[in-house]
Amino acid sequence: MKEDKIDKSSDELEVESEEKSSGKEIDVDEDHLPSRAMAIHEHIRQDGEKELERDAMALLWSAIAAGLSMGASLLAKGVFHVHLEGVPGSFLLENLGYTFGFIIVIMARQQLFTENTVTAVLPVMQNPSASNFLLLLRLWGMVLLGNLIGTGLAAYAFEYMPIFDEKTRDAFVTIGMEVMHNTPGEMFANAMISGWIIATMVWMFPSAGSAKIVVIVIMTWLVGLGNLTHIVVGSVEILYLVFNGTLHWSDFFWPFALPTLAGNICGGTFIFALISHAQIRNDMSNKKKAEAKAKAKRKAEVENGEEEGKGNKRQA
């Protein structure tokens, strides 16, 4: 009875996919697929399936670690802001600090919400079943919750632990207030672009190889240079303002968190992931048609061979 419960529990965490129904894995070797884009799509989709099937508590703890790690972006940007004041080109170098948290999170394979908006959604787009959709909501919910807990802990530590001098604390306030100068509409629009950029970064990873860290730096630096809003990095910045009394808790949710979250999801999922999936749908359809045609041809050859064999026997 206990084993039955365990089996049932593991089945509930299983993504419904073509491979599982057929018992045959899809090859991600681009030489065996119609296009390179399809090879990248399949690589990311299979990673997404693994993420969807992970244990909920494992997702939560990894997401909390990612939220804490994202504090490195505010830390580096604040320190650069103080020590590069008056230096020509300081804006460029200051925003290089924005990349630090992303480097830590992605290279350490921690759970970041905006990564999962594209990786985990591809299995659902390929097989949009109710159970897959529920697994996606479960993943997003646990990762977002963990990220916000982690960013809250990082912001609290920055404010109340004796780590930084007054100039650096003032820099944190300045950085956070730059975000709050946006209207809710601007928060949403900026977040759409940052969601798109992060999703593009994820799409580049399978081809990046050893240059993965360079891709992370370039793409996330671009987000920082554009002063674009991001739900996880921005949470560290805005929660710092909440903890030091500059903002009220309600200001975190509106105008920041809700429009930014919606923008990141729209940019990374409903735009980028849909377009990326759409471009390989014809490839997938043509591949299936070719496989079906080859199978029918083999079946016809076998039937013809059997007919010839029977004819030879009659003649004998």
Residue 242 placed within a domain: yes
Residue 89 Rama label (left phi>0; alpha psi -120 to 50; beta)? left
The vertex-218 CA angle with 266 and 256, nearest 5°, equals 40
Helix (H) or strand (E) holding 222: helix 212-225
Say how far apart CA 266 and CA 149 lie, in whole Å: 23
What is the maximal distance between C-alpha atoms in the chain?
A: 103
Say how far apart CA 134 and CA 111 lie, in whole Å: 18
CATH code: domain of residue 220: 1.20.1080.10
Residue 270 placed within a domain: yes
- The H-assigned helical ranges of 33-98 are 36-52, 56-69, 71-83, 90-96
Residue 42 placed within a domain: yes
Residue 10 placed within a domain: no
Q: Tell me which residue range forms the domain holding 64.
A: 28-281
Three-state DSSP class for 103? helix
Say how far apart CA 235 and CA 239 lie, in whole Å: 6
DSSP category for residue 16: P
Helix axes 99-107, 56-69, angle to 10 degrees: 150
Residue 305 placed within a domain: no
For residue 240, the model assigns a pLDDT of: 97
The answer to whether 264 and 194 are in contact (CB under 8 A) is: yes
pLDDT tens string for the chain (316 positions)? 444 443 444 445 677 665 555 445 555 555 555 566 677 777 788 888 888 989 999 999 999 999 999 999 999 999 999 999 888 989 999 999 999 999 999 999 999 998 877 788 888 887 888 888 999 999 999 999 999 999 999 999 999 999 999 999 999 999 999 999 999 999 999 999 999 999 889 888 988 888 999 999 999 999 999 999 999 999 999 999 999 999 999 999 999 999 999 999 998 877 777 776 666 666 555 555 445 555 555 665 666 666 666 555 666 5
Residue 221 placed within a domain: yes
Residue 293 placed within a domain: no
Phi and psi at residue 109, to the nearest 5°? 60, 40
For residue 221, the model assigns a pLDDT of: 97
Residue 265 carries which side chain, given as an amino acid letter? I
- If one counts the domains in the chain, the total is 1
Tokens of 217: 């730096």
Residue 18 placed within a domain: no
For the chain, count helices (H), then strands (E): 17, 0
